[in-house]
Structure 1
Amino acid sequence: MSEDAPRARAGVLRRMTARGRGEKHRAATPLELFFDLCFVVAVAQAGRQLVHALAEGHPESGIPGYLMTFFAIWWAWVNFSWFSSAYDTDDVPYRVVTLVQMAGVLILAAGVPRAADDGNFAVVWLGYLVMRLALVTQWLRAAHSSTGEERRAALRYAAGVSLCQVGWLGLLFLPLHARPWLFLGMAIVEMAVPAFAEHRYTTGWHPHHIAERYGLFTIIMLGETVLAATTAVQSALDEDEALGTLLPIAGGGLLIIFAAYWIYFAVPIHLHLVSNRQAFLWGYGHYFVFGSAAAVGAGIEVAIEETIGKAHISAFAAASAVTVPTALFMFSVWAIHSRHHKRTLAQQLVLPVSAVLVLACTFAGRAAVLLTGLVAAATVAVGVALSVGPPAGRQGARAAAGTEGVGEGAGGA
């Protein structure tokens, strides 16, 4: 079969051979979109626990808990996405095993409240076990269908994932004060597995497909923020008719979300993913992009609760729940994503400077969310203005990149 030809879909049983990086018209499948949908539940649970901890004035436990549970969610999604980019056969066994992974996601989501409140990771670990066993099955199937270094790479993946799952057992038996350190160590080991597995053979992940998958998950994170903020405003209006105080928060939150979308999708990032090293650094960096995008929604909820008197924290603390993740989103998108397409110093400075200005908005108290939204909107406006240059220069840059009319053609930060 030619690499340029789309694969026939939905066979009963197909040999699991690697897909080609040069395959044209490679896009996310309905099964992948369905898989992503399950993560909405898990992310919502993690965000809800973060809101509760911050509103009660316990950031010292809420933030580490959120970072740990979000890592589990994010890493499970990463594992599936890169495997499916390289070995998606879309036959019956592949679909069934993927559905099993989805069941594991939902089990993990059900265990998030216990992990956050009591440090009980038993259900989270069980959900993770279901997902990892399914992933190991996929890698063993890929190994069975391949030879040489490709087969050895698949077997190294299966062994690495299995050993890591055993390591996570420590979360069930170690004392509470030791679990964050175990989590940090295991997270480093987990992220080392791909480098270990692919040190002699590079799996056939597809740059455009991976860029699309990450972009779609970013939209899911921003959508979760919209939902969280909308629910918070609705609940506040049901109990307190303080519309005048809620509208600035709702308006500022909307501007933040719109600007976040614009900032992320301003560049055609698949052109940057030309090697394993670049792709892995870009992919791993999205832990901060995804985590901060989801945390913005939690922060808006906290700001609303503080405004109507339901949160036991200061206005400064409530403001920081919005400004800190917003600034982190801007800086992390610049660091791993946008800076590779900036041609001048002024363009490079837009997002870092905006991140600093957003942090300064924290001192505005209850006006911080609206001011942050205005800074975010101004960031987009400045980015668009700086992207406008001599027509011939713009066309030449696009032609050189092979993406005329895509990405920066829309202008952006």
Structure 2
Amino acid sequence: MVADNPHGAMFRVITPNRHSRVTYAELFFDLVFVFAVTQVSHALLHHFTLIGAVHVAVLFLAVWWVWVFTAWVTNWLNPELTPVRLLLFAMMLGGLVLSTSIPTAFEGRGLWFAIAYAAMQVGRTAFWLFATPPHRTAVRHNAIRILVWLSVSAVFWILGGLAHHEARLWFWIAALAIEYISPAARFWVPGLGFSSVEAWAVEGGHMAERCALFVIIALGEAVIVNGATFAALEWTAANILAFVSALVGAIAMWWVYFHKGAEAGAEWISKSAESGRLARLAYTYLHLPIVAGIILTAVSDELVLKHPAGHSDMRTIVSTIGGPLIFLIGTILFKLAIRGFLQLSHGIGILLLLALSWFASDVSPLWLSVATTMILILVAVWESVSLGTEQ
């Protein structure tokens, strides 16, 4: 629950088996990332080459990381208090600069992207450090550890922003490597050592809901792309079927994630004695491929809607099959982390998508989209029936 804690100033009071609601300030902050996700999908659509995909992957990893780190901090701090709200509003400004820089981040606006990203990561962590009362030594040490790691990565972000072409890419890959390794390395720094698992306790229900809302953001972006593209086209039978297939596919993805998985994850992490460890694995790392798969599927939706007939080219095959494939890989690993076993339905779905890829070039984009949607429906129905039978 969220409370005014005289011993923790701006900190939440974390109570086992209680679920703090997501605040309106957090939801308002998330609006910036609706725009960021749209920018990422459009960047991939317009730069769908091998090097373009690498560039977009770097940008997406940055967007996800700055959002999920903010979710961690607002899990500990109380967003109902004015200073924390002002932090989120300042982060929104940085997020808008970050998002608007995405299309040309590897061209003219690289330095803007780097400055916005580094300022958000370092500034938010510095705020957390200064908001922590002196007597909360373990929390302050954690904040210092994270601030050190993010400050080191910020140097590489800025150097990349100042560099050009391949040098920029390598600087930014190094920056991401530092940041993505840091939680697994428990933010070790000289003098302070490793962070303890006990120090990372989170309000599990709140963390689960925050990440579920980001999945909604990604699904919402897919629906927006689908609707906006369809509205601009002549409504032929092929386009209508492609539109329906895309929408049903998004619904199936929602069903696969939310019908059983999201609720089970929230319940499990709320009861876990090691909520921090589970949040790091299941929500910080394993939600990344879930969101990435949805974004890639949104790219497929636009490609198929615009060109439903003929043979599927490589862009269409990679996005139409790759999106659901990455999504199912993410969900099967997420549910393994929270349930302790692999979902057979998801495994079969993954195998069917891989089998479909063997002859995808001989299938039209429209029917390739219909086939992947049917596979997602199969996974959703299978899981619902099998888990319903177990209950």
TM-score (norm 1): 0.82
Aligned identity (percent) is 22
Q: Does the alignment pair 1:64 with 2:51?
A: no
* Corresponding residue for residue 330 of structure 1: 328
* Corresponding residue for residue 209 of structure 1: 206
Q: Is the 8 A contact 1:143 1:155 kept in 2?
A: no
Report the Cα offset of residue 145 of structure 1: 4.7
* Corresponding residue for residue 67 of structure 2: 77
* Corresponding residue for residue 307 of structure 1: 308
Report the Cα offset of residue 167 of structure 1: 2.2
Q: Does the alignment pair 1:170 with 2:159?
A: yes
For residues 101 and 206 of structure 2, the distance between their equivalents in structure 1, rounded to whole angstroms, comes to 31
For the residue of structure 1 that corresponds to 2:187, the secondary structure is helix
Q: Is the 8 A contact 2:288 2:330 kept in 1?
A: no
* Corresponding residue for residue 191 of structure 2: none
1:6-85 alignment, distance < 5 Å: 6-7=2-3, 15-17=9-11, 19-22=13-16, 24-54=18-48, 59-85=49-75
What are the superposed Cα offsets for residues 38-91 of structure 1, whole Å, 9 maximum, x if unpaired?
A: 10111111111111123xxxx212211211111111111011100110122532
1:337-376 alignment, distance < 5 Å: 337=335, 340-341=338-339, 348-362=343-357, 363=360, 364-366=363-365, 367-376=367-376
* Corresponding residue for residue 291 of structure 2: 290
For residues 292 and 256 of structure 1, the distance between their equivalents in structure 2, rounded to whole angstroms, comes to 12
Q: Is the 8 A contact 2:300 2:316 kept in 1?
A: yes
Q: Which amino acid aligns with 2:285?
A: Y
For the structure 1 residues 348 and 307, does the alpha-carbon distance in structure 2 shift closer, same or farther, using more than 3 Å as the test?
closer
Report the Cα offset of residue 19 of structure 1: 2.9
Q: How many residues align?
A: 369
For residues 30 and 190 of structure 1, the distance between their equivalents in structure 2, rounded to whole angstroms, comes to 28
What are the superposed Cα offsets for residues 291-315 of structure 1, whole Å, 9 maximum, x if unpaired?
A: 1112211111122233379xxx954
Report the Cα offset of residue 164 of structure 1: 1.9
265, 268, 276: which one aligns with 1:269: 265
* Corresponding residue for residue 320 of structure 1: 318
What are the superposed Cα offsets for residues 347-396 of structure 1, whole Å, 9 maximum, x if unpaired?
A: 7221122122124444133210011111111221222222233xxx62xx
* Structure 1 unmatched ranges of 5 or more: 395-413
What are the superposed Cα offsets for residues 217-242 of structure 1, whole Å, 9 maximum, x if unpaired?
A: 101110100001111111222xxx4x
For the residue of structure 2 that corresponds to 1:20, the secondary structure is coil
For residues 160 and 341 of structure 1, the distance between their equivalents in structure 2, rounded to whole angstroms, comes to 32
Q: Does the alignment pair 1:226 with 2:217?
A: no
* Corresponding residue for residue 142 of structure 1: 131
Report the Cα offset of residue 316 of structure 1: 5.0
Give the RMSD, CA atoms, in angstroms. Answer: 2.6
For residues 79 and 386 of structure 2, the distance between their equivalents in structure 1, rounded to whole angstroms, comes to 44
Report the Cα offset of residue 247 of structure 1: 1.9
Q: Is the 8 A contact 1:339 1:348 kept in 2?
A: no
* Corresponding residue for residue 174 of structure 2: 185
For residues 289 and 77 of structure 1, the distance between their equivalents in structure 2, rounded to whole angstroms, comes to 15
